[in-house]
Chain A
Amino acid sequence: MNLQKLFLCVPNLLKLPNRTTVILKRRVPIKPFRKHIDSEFIKNKLDPLHFEYEVVDSGKDKQYPDVEIILNDIIEDVGKKGQIVKINSENAYEYIMFSKAFYATPENIAKVKKLADSEVDKYSSLTAYKTMKLLKNRVLSVYMNMYEPWTIEPWHIRVNYRLDGIQILNDNCIELPNSPISGPNMAWEGKDFAIFITINNCERFPVRCRLRHYTKIYSDRIILPPDHFCIPSEPILPEQKELLDSIPLPEWHEEEKFS
């Protein structure tokens, strides 16, 4: 049976109320017996008064200590391969079930140390994978002037990223297409072109950009639908058609519209 299917039957742990073992105490303590304690003794010799309990710890706010594991693969926000980390015991158990990690026994530590020295890591830093995934999944809308002439330069893209909430520190990491794009040209409104971005001079990947025209005059502005970045469109440059087809468009969930 597939392991993925098994875990799908499991309900979400975050929705369940978290509770550990209940710890109780007798309301009236038992007088000391000079006798060996057996299961028969407990059954026969206790009074009904000794079954009245008080709750010492309901176990609601209690948490078990963290567990040390060795990562077998890169995991977001946790670490990279061969690293020893301390995390929550339930998350650690789930990683071990999917063989993304091992228990940090002394035998396993000795095994992994040899591996870590020989192998080279895939990514340049811990957050590189996460930022790459974030930038790949979104479409950058490049807002340009509707009336004054321009040609696209790296700082245009830096500013448009800043509008989107992402700050790029250096312009050298932005790589524009070879043939220049200049306007204003209303035939290119809502059409795509691709740029390349590099992280730490190591990871290089394409990003989809969509051209938009913008003015200060409110009556001339183009009003966009909320799912404008999910609608498929044509490329500005015919050279980049194959590249743009390889980049997937993000999905739009209609439930999120009015939430």
Chain B
Amino acid sequence: MVLKFESLFLSVRRMSSVDVTAIESNFNRKLVEPRQKTTILDCGFYKNLPASYKKFYLEWKYTVPKPVHYIPKEGKYYKNPDNGNIEIVQNVPIPLSECPQESEGIWGGEAVIDGFVRLLKGKHRVHDLGPAPRFWFPQLYRSVIYSEILDKYMFCEVTKRAINLINNHYGLDNYLLETKACDLRNILAIKLKRKLLLSLLHKSLYPNDEVKQEEIYNKYKKYLDGYTPEEIEWFGLTLDEAILKLRGIMIYESEQPKIPLKIKFRRDFLKELSEENENQSTIVAEPWYKKKLLSFK
């Protein structure tokens, strides 16, 4: 009896522990984890794009960038001064609008904001005239930027914030390679980052000077760890460019003669056997087919 009770007790405890963890996990998932949403990449022809491009596109368009035009609140909870309630802190970013001039410069995360201002008039009695539309623009000036990997001086429009960020990162190359695509925001900066990554991957920097090539390659080598070679080739393309590239690949594959799987598997199997034979011949003197024969038993 005692044994039975113990076993029951244990089973109950085990059951309860399992249930509690399951409930907790479900509860947390509802609060914290986002629902799997359908993006533009999940429908139509965009579905065929490779995962390495989808990773970049989600980083560029579907992540929340660092705060630029607002000051975020710190901490988890705060006390509302109006009613004394304790509420959750949730920083909703100010939406930024796009404009064609954005693609010509490096603005350091700044952008045009379109919104409203509430107009209030009168000294003694306040007249509410309602919301009036208003735009806030970043201030630009022309300057020169220099990249050490490309060994090139370039002429473009920048903001003061961008130059401050370049100074804080000790140079343009470090700034571009360390920051995410959503924080860079401008397409010129993203294209430059693509060029830097490609030249590091193919080691095509400083083709005439070999000493300088190794010095600078070792300096910026650490940034290649975050990407695979396939991801770098798809990095920094717009949606239209990515589709053109994909169509090109599909056409190239369709034009090539198809090899039947029967021949392909046989070729692979023979290659494996030859490799095994080379390895085993040095160590063991047994015939190579002995193992294969044993495996069929």
List chain A positions with a Cβ less than 8 A from chain B: 1, 3, 6-7, 9-11, 13, 16-27, 30, 32-34, 36-40, 42-43, 46, 48, 50-54, 56, 64, 67, 89-90, 92-93, 97, 103, 105
Number of A-B contacts (CB under 8 A): 119
Decide yes or no whether B142 CB sits under 8 A from chain A. yes
What CA separation (Å) do A33 and B87 show in the bound complex? 10
A30 contacts B94, CB within 8 Å?
A: no
**What are 25 pairs between A and B in contact, CB < 8 Å?**
A9-B155, A17-B139, A19-B139, A19-B160, A20-B139, A21-B138, A23-B69, A23-B70, A24-B70, A24-B94, A24-B136, A25-B70, A37-B64, A38-B64, A39-B62, A42-B95, A46-B95, A48-B116, A52-B116, A52-B118, A53-B116, A89-B164, A97-B153, A103-B167, A105-B170
Q: Confirm or deny: B24 has a beta carbon within 8 angstroms of a beta carbon on chain A.
A: no
Q: Which residues of B contact A21 (CB under 8 A)?
A: 68-69, 110, 138, 159, 161
The answer to whether A93 and B163 touch across the interface, beta carbons within 8 angstroms, is yes
- Say yes or no for B131: interface residue by CB 8 A criterion: yes
Q: Which residue on chain A has the smallest CB distance to residue B155?
A: A6
**What is the minimal beta-carbon distance from B148 to any residue of chain A, in angstroms?**
11
Establish whether residues B115 and A52, one from each chain, have CB atoms under 8 Å apart when the complex forms: yes
B113 interface residue per 8 A CB criterion: yes
Give bound CA distance, A33 to B88, whole Å.
9
| Residues in A whose Cβ lies below 8 Å from that of B142 | 9-11
Q: Which of A39, A43, A93 contacts B167 (CB 8 A)?
A: A93
Query: How many residues on B have C-beta within 8 angstroms of the other chain's C-beta atoms?
Result: 49
Chain B residues numbered 263-297 whose CB sits less than 8 Å from any CB in chain A: none
List of 7 A-B pairs having minimum Cβ-Cβ separation, nearest first:
A36-B34, A103-B170, A64-B164, A32-B88, A51-B115, A19-B139, A52-B116
Q: How far is the CA of A22 from the CA of B111 in the complex (A)?
A: 10
**In the bound complex, do residue A64 and residue B160 qualify as a contact, i.e. CB atoms below 8 Å apart?**
yes
A residues near B69, Cβ cutoff 8 Å: 21-24
Specify which chain B residues have a CB less than 8 angstroms from the CB of A17 in the assembled complex: 139
Cβ–Cβ < 8 Å partners of A36 in chain B: 32-35
Within 8 A of A (CB), among B55-103: 61-62, 64, 68-71, 87-95
Residues 199 to 238 of chain B near chain A (Cβ within 8 Å): none
CA distance A53 to B115 in the complex (A): 7
- A107 to chain B: closest CB distance in Å? 9
Assess A24 versus B113: contact at CB under 8 Å? Given A13-B141, A19-B139, A30-B90.
Answer: yes
Contact assessment for A20 and B161 in the assembled complex, using a CB-CB cutoff below 8 Å: yes
| Residues from chain B with Cβ under 8 Å of A51 in the complex | 115-116
Q: For B91, list chain A residues within 8 Å (CB).
A: 37
Structural contact, B167 and A89, CB atoms closer than 8 A: yes
- Please tell me if B15 contacts chain A, counting CB pairs below 8 Å: no
**Does B146 interact with chain A (Cβ within 8 Å)?**
yes
A7, B141: Cβ atoms under 8 Å? no
Most B-side CB within 10 Å, residue of A42, A53, A105: A53
B71 pairs with A56, CB closer than 8 A? yes
CA distance A22 to B96 in the complex (A): 13
User: Given B37, B139, B167, which contacts A38 in the complex, CB threshold below 8 Å?
Assistant: B37
Q: Determine whether the beta carbon of B34 is less than 8 Å from that of A38.
A: yes
B117 within 8 A of A: yes
Counting chain B CB atoms within 10 Å of each CB, the highest count among A1, A33, A37, A51 belongs to: A51
Contacting residue for B153 out of A1, A13, A43, A46, CB 8 A: A1
A24, B138: Cα distance in complex, Å: 13
Q: Do B144 and A23 touch (CB < 8 A)?
A: no
Given A64-B164, A103-B171: A3 and B62 interface contact (C-beta under 8 Å): no
Question: Which residues of B have CB within 8 Å of A22?
Answer: 69, 113, 136, 138
